[in-house]
Amino acid sequence: MAENRNDEFDFREVTDDERVDIKDSGEKSNGTDNITVEKNDVNTDNHESDNTKSEYEDVCFVCRRPESKAGKMFHLPNNICICDDCMHKTMDAVSQFDYQNMLNNPTLMNELNKNTGGFPNMGFFNMGDPTNGGFNMGGGIPNTQKIKKKSEKGAKPAFDIKNIPAPHKIKAKLDEYVIGQDQAKKVMSVAVYNHYKRVATDTMDDIEIEKSNILLLGPTGSGKTYLVKTLARLLDVPLAIADATSLTEAGYIGDDIESVVSKLLAAAGNDVEKTEHGIIFIDEIDKIAKKKNTTSRDVSGESVQQGMLKLLEGSNVEVPVGAGSKNAMVPLATVNTRNILFICGGAFPDLEEIITQRLNKQTSIGFDADLKDKYEDDPNILTNVTVEDLKKFGMIPEFLGRLPIICSLQALTKDMLIKILKEPKNAILKQYQKLLALDEVDLRFDDSALEAIADKALEKDTGARALRAIIEEFMLDIMYEIPKDENIGRVTITRDYIEGKASPLIEIRGDVQPKLTGTVAEQA
């Protein structure tokens, strides 16, 4: 290189016809070498695959803005991208630094040589080499924090109105997995069908269809979360399940309200278009009710409800990509929640008392009068809920107004629990039958055993969740002992074994041919 060179860099954008390579031939123009760094010029040694480059947007390593906001990027080694603004700021800071005085300061240079081993090995100049005091960039920003590029114009729409299943077909699919709750399944089928008709048509005329968010009420273990999971799997749409207990007001320790949309963005593979047509299920929504008789600031109650108002109604939200909260090191994506279906669910404990008090005010004395103890032992009293009851519970009117569909799930009865054990496609008993079939053992259950399991589940009062806990308890010894003896061909579970009065019935392999593909329904 020439001796009389100035430390000036000319960063300019060039076209394909004006592509300029860096030359070391010593050609000078007014004593300055013009070094051109072309935007979007990828180093052939350190670059991602063509599929990845076409799928994700570049993100600035400094300000964390995606390419759609910051513009085209400068590509540096180790897959590091820097936007035009950050590049110019960096060059301005470098040009204002007084290198001459630093080199003429012997004290500073001695400290520099002592700590870094000399000027040439400074970490600033070895950012890609951690062994020489530099930073390990790790190949730039990972794909989990990159946003997928938007599809080109004229691309196939995400939803075709002809391919959306009708409500009765949606309910028929739900019936294969969920026992009972016919009213809840019917409400959700119609709401989802109308919602995706609205998304598919994209309001083609002047009549704008409003969004129908859903509020699910029901005791624990009645199937609120399972309904939503099954629905999203059948429709093949992105689903995010968030917990309202961790949400707090902005600025306090906890998850910001936008984190629920960030989870949906991650479930959609950082594709903003898919995210804007997904479903968000916010569980434990009753935990953000207004706190009563408190003097401290309610950062996880009423303030969270107020912060969710625009989210439920539909607005542009800045959400962090690949993280739970906003910070300087996480890129942000803009998501419009106008077409996102929100389903909120909660058990709402003590709401039964509020409903009972309201209904008891309507009681009277005389013949054919309603008595005060009529509603005390009603397991399905939540079906009588009104908006006024939810207001007394602690939900603000503005929040309830954005959840127009209120659906109550029924408490599980003994017959429903028995059906849950054996009828769904992935019933609990079928799962254990499959486990033992791998050991070539046929597992069977008496009808009396199923009734005993259901009775124990009702005593626990935790809904369908109690079934697995009970079965795990009495199946432990069977799953432990059966692999010891290869002669066992069939095991039959009886009521006496469930109640601890006897052992299960075991048949030797020579006396019975194991039915490896049998189901509980066929045995019945």
Alpha helices of 370-491 — where are they, by DSSP H?
387-393, 397-401, 414-422, 428-437, 447-460, 465-481
Residue 350: count other Cβ atoms within 10 Å of its Cβ: 9
* pLDDT value, residue 363: 58
Query: Distance between CA 459 and CA 66 in Å, rounded?
Result: 55
| 243 and 336 part of one domain | yes
What residues contact residue 347 under an 8 Å CB cut-off, 6+ apart?
Answer: 217, 218, 219, 220, 284, 286
Instruction: Order across the sheet with 214-217: list the strands.
Output: 239-243, 279-283, 341-346, 214-217, 405-408
What residues contact residue 232 under an 8 Å CB cut-off, 6+ apart?
Answer: 238, 239, 279
According to DSSP, the β-strands at 316-320 and 341-346 are: unpaired
* 460-508 pLDDT per residue, tens: 888 888 899 999 998 998 889 888 888 888 999 999 999 888 888 988 8
> Which of 109, 124, 145 finishes a domain?
145
Angle of helix 414-422 relative to helix 428-437, nearest 10 degrees, comes to 30
Long-range Cβ contact pairs of 136-140 (< 8 A, separation 24 or more): 137/61, 137/78, 137/79, 137/80, 138/78, 139/46, 139/78, 139/79, 140/61, 140/78, 140/79, 140/80, 140/81
CATH number at residue 245: 3.40.50.300
> Which of 346, 373, 392 finishes a domain?
346
Q: Is residue 190 in some structural domain?
A: no
* pLDDT value, residue 517: 39
Greatest alpha-carbon pair distance for the chain in Å reads 112
* 397-410 pLDDT per residue, tens: 999 999 999 999 98
| 239 and 332 part of one domain | yes
Q: Is residue 279 in some structural domain?
A: yes
* pLDDT value, residue 28: 42
Helix (H) or strand (E) holding 69: helix 67-70
What residues contact residue 300 under an 8 Å CB cut-off, 6+ apart?
Answer: 245, 247, 248, 249, 252, 254, 287, 288
| 228 and 330 part of one domain | yes
| 220 and 128 part of one domain | no
Owning domain of residue 122: 50-145
Query: Distance between CA 244 and CA 13 in Å, rounded?
Result: 48
Q: Which residues of the chain have pLDDT under 70?
A: 1-54, 97-106, 108-141, 149-162, 202-206, 294, 323-325, 327-328, 362-377, 510-524
Q: Is residue 385 in some structural domain?
A: no
Number of compact structural domains in the chain: 3
Using CB atoms within 10 Å of the CB of residue 19, give its burial: 0 to 12 exposed, 13 to 18 middle, 19+ buried: exposed
Taking a C-beta distance cutoff of 8 angstroms, is the pair 254, 301 a contact?
no
Distances from the Cα of 373 to the Cαs of 215, 358, 509, in angstroms? 28, 13, 57
CATH number at residue 516: 1.10.8.60
- Exposure string (b/e) for 462-471, b if CB count within 10 Å is 16 or more? ebbebbeebb
What residues contact residue 17 under an 8 Å CB cut-off, 6+ apart?
Answer: none
Residue 322 corresponds to which tokens in the numbers above?
A: 């690949």
Q: Is residue 447 in some structural domain?
A: yes
223: left (phi over 0), alpha (psi -120 to 50) or beta: left
Q: Is residue 364 in some structural domain?
A: no
Taking a C-beta distance cutoff of 8 angstroms, is the pair 174, 192 a contact?
no
| 338 and 425 part of one domain | no
Alpha helices of 221-316 — where are they, by DSSP H?
224-235, 259-267, 272-275, 302-307, 309-313
Query: Distance between CA 176 and CA 164 in Å, rounded?
Result: 19
The amino acid sitting at 123 is: G
Q: Is residue 168 in some structural domain?
A: no
| 340 and 223 part of one domain | yes
* pLDDT value, residue 319: 87
Backbone φ and ψ for 284, nearest 5 degrees, come out as 55, 40
Query: Distance between CA 507 and CA 413 in Å, rounded?
Result: 34
Distances from the Cα of 233 to the Cαs of 11, 186, 204, 220, 363, in angstroms? 50, 17, 28, 22, 46
> Which of 346, 361, 376 finishes a domain?
346
Taking a C-beta distance cutoff of 8 angstroms, is the pair 223, 181 a contact?
yes
Q: Hey, which residues does 241 pair with through a beta bridge?
A: 281
Q: Is residue 318 in some structural domain?
A: yes
| 321 and 435 part of one domain | no
> In degrees, to the nearest 5, what angle opens at C-alpha 170 toward C-alphas 168 and 172?
70
> In degrees, to the nearest 5, what angle opens at C-alpha 163 toward C-alphas 223 and 404?
45
Q: Is residue 422 in some structural domain?
A: yes
- Residue among 248, 130, 181, 131 at smallest CA distance from 409: 181
